[in-house]
Amino acid sequence: MARQEKISKNLDWITVLLFIVCVIVGWANIYAAIYNPENPLWIGDAGFFDTNAGKQLIWIGTTVLLIIAILVIDYRFYETTAFFIYGFFIFMLISVFVIGAEIKGSHSWIRIGGFQIQPAEFAKMATALALAKYVSTPMVNLSRFKDQFNVALIILIPPVLILLSKETGVALVFASFMVLLYREGLPGVYPASFLSIIILFVLSLIYPSWQIFVGLAVLSGLIIWILPRYERKTRNILMILGVAFAMGVFATGVDWAINNVLQEHQRNRIKVLIDPDFDRKKTGYNVRQAKIAIGSGGLIGKGYLQGTQTKFDFVPEQSTDFIFCTVGEEEGFAGSLLVVGLFLSLLLRVIYLAERQKSRFARVYGYGVVSILFFHFMVNIGMTIGLMPVIGIPLPFFSYGGSSLWSFSILLFIFLKIDAHRSQVLSRW
């Protein structure tokens, strides 16, 4: 009993409150997305728990039980068993190839009765724990190639397995761990190279290869010209030209990869990002309807349960991937701004908690939480307004789905449990 009183005293209730508000507002929007004015179901009505809103209530109830279990378990358990948890979910990712069920083209689900669990969602949390455990190990230095290789291995194994199960969206989330690693001492050349590749990839979709080669040649010349005279050594010039040539080759290969590696629906999603009018009746339909729904909300929205784009199913996946459309249509720009502010408040609070940790393990894991939540937040909202490709990842605590709600809640509350005992954790820097 004394242990529970201490947890309740030291638990960061600001973060808990932000979590609760997110879950409540999220459920309200899921209900709005499935609401039928001709047959308005509510709790207790026959068939209510067959709807997404009813099922989500069940998931919320089980989430409360999970949170209680997390807070009861000794805080040292998560650090001690981090690699075991990681290994378990690697096993689960492999098991979907044997016992998994295919849902919407993705073979990444395990059926349990009338519900489905997606191990890929939990693999993100497991990877954050494993990274925190490894990076906090004494003598690990992210400026050394050996340690860089090891963390790359930890990060890459889960997304490779997830990609093999045809779940591209979740696999991309693991790229967000670059934020965590940079905070812990990874040389800046890696995130800079990563961002350069993304920019070059986008430019390769817009401009022909020859124009990119010309641009890189001009840029290389400018860099060499502005170098101090004592830096204009043959080695440096050859290195600059070599990097420019490699980037040009990469740009040339983008078109080949899109046409020969990606599946047709993946190619079409990229084309829609570049040209919103591409395939408006099929691939571009989702984004177009999402924009119409959000735009129709105006400044203050049409009012709760008054949305027409969502009520008449114009917006596909309106309870899951495109839940933000319901917010934009019914609560308008003002409501959307409040939701964005709510998420940013949660992210900033977790960053604050991460920075006050006394152990490196806790801090690294805290930044893992931030990285995952931010990536989901940025991409999900970005794809509903046409700034990101549609890759099918949920909005944390808002989108319908038990796997996502469980995984995000476990991810967050493990960190809150560790934070509640930060005064008992020995510093390891």
In 23-119, DSSP assigns E strands to 101-103, 106-112, 115-117
| Residue in the block written with tokens 């693999």 | 123
Where among 226, 261, 296 does a domain terminate? 261
Q: Is 312 exposed, middle or buried (0-12, 13-18, 19+ CB in 10 A)?
A: exposed
Same domain, 310 and 376: yes
In a domain, 357, yes or no: yes
In a domain, 416, yes or no: yes
Q: Looking at the DSSP assignment, which residues form a beta bridge with residue 428?
A: 359
In a domain, 198, yes or no: yes
Same domain, 26 and 120: yes
Q: What angle do CA 53, 59, 60 make, to 5 degrees?
A: 85
Which long-range contacts (C-beta less than 8 Å, at least 24 apart) are formed by 190-199? 190/148, 196/247, 197/250
Same domain, 304 and 347: yes
Which residues are CB-neighbours of 386 under 8 A, at least 6 positions away?
273, 276, 287, 290, 291
Counted residue by residue, the chain has a size of 429
Q: Once rounded to an integer, what is the mean pLDDT over residues 306-328?
A: 79
For 3-55, how does the pLDDT look when each residue is reduced to its tens digit (9 = 90+)?
A: 444 677 889 999 999 999 999 999 999 998 888 777 787 887 778 888 888 99
Inform me whether the pLDDT recorded for 352 exceeds 90: yes
The total domain count for the chain is 2
In a domain, 135, yes or no: no
Same domain, 250 and 281: no
- Region class of 375: left (phi > 0), else alpha (psi between -120 and 50), else beta: alpha
Q: Is 296 exposed, middle or buried (0-12, 13-18, 19+ CB in 10 A)?
A: middle
Residue type, 356: R
Where among 236, 261, 286 does a domain terminate? 261
Inform me whether the pLDDT recorded for 161 exceeds 50: yes
Q: What angle do CA 391, 392, 394 make, to 5 degrees?
A: 130
In a domain, 245, yes or no: yes
In a domain, 86, yes or no: no
Same domain, 255 and 281: no
C-alpha to C-alpha distance for 287 and 413, rounded to whole angstroms: 33
Where among 209, 233, 261 does a domain terminate? 261
Mean pLDDT of the chain: 85
C-alpha to C-alpha distance for 5 and 2, rounded to whole angstroms: 5
For 207-227, how does the pLDDT look when each residue is reduced to its tens digit (9 = 90+)?
A: 777 788 888 888 888 888 887
Same domain, 233 and 296: no
For 70-105, how does the pLDDT look when each residue is reduced to its tens digit (9 = 90+)?
A: 999 999 999 999 999 999 999 999 998 888 777 666
Give the three-state DSSP class for 134: helix
Same domain, 417 and 301: yes
User: How far is C-alpha 419 from the chain's CA centre?
Assistant: 22
C-alpha to C-alpha distance for 52 and 36, rounded to whole angstroms: 13
What confidence score (pLDDT) does residue 343 get? 95
Same domain, 416 and 300: yes
In a domain, 184, yes or no: no
In a domain, 218, yes or no: yes
- Structure tokens of 89? 């979910």
Q: Model confidence at 250, in pLDDT bands (50, 70, 90)?
A: confident
What confidence score (pLDDT) does residue 97 get? 86
Same domain, 231 and 292: no
What confidence score (pLDDT) does residue 2 get? 42
Q: Identify whether the C-beta of residue 205 lies closer than 8 Å to the C-beta of residue 196.
A: no
| Residue in the block written with tokens 């295919």 | 102
Same domain, 343 and 410: yes
Of 264-268, 280-284, 333-337, 422-426, the one with minimum mean pLDDT is 280-284
What confidence score (pLDDT) does residue 276 get? 60
What confidence score (pLDDT) does residue 272 get? 65
Same domain, 354 and 305: yes
| Residue in the block written with tokens 């964005």 | 340
Inform me whether the pLDDT recorded for 116 exceeds 50: yes
Q: Which domain holds residue 241?
A: 192-261
Q: Identify whether the C-beta of residue 404 lies closer than 8 Å to the C-beta of residue 394.
A: yes
Q: Where are the alpha helices (DSSP H) in 310-401?
A: 323-355, 360-384
Same domain, 301 and 250: no
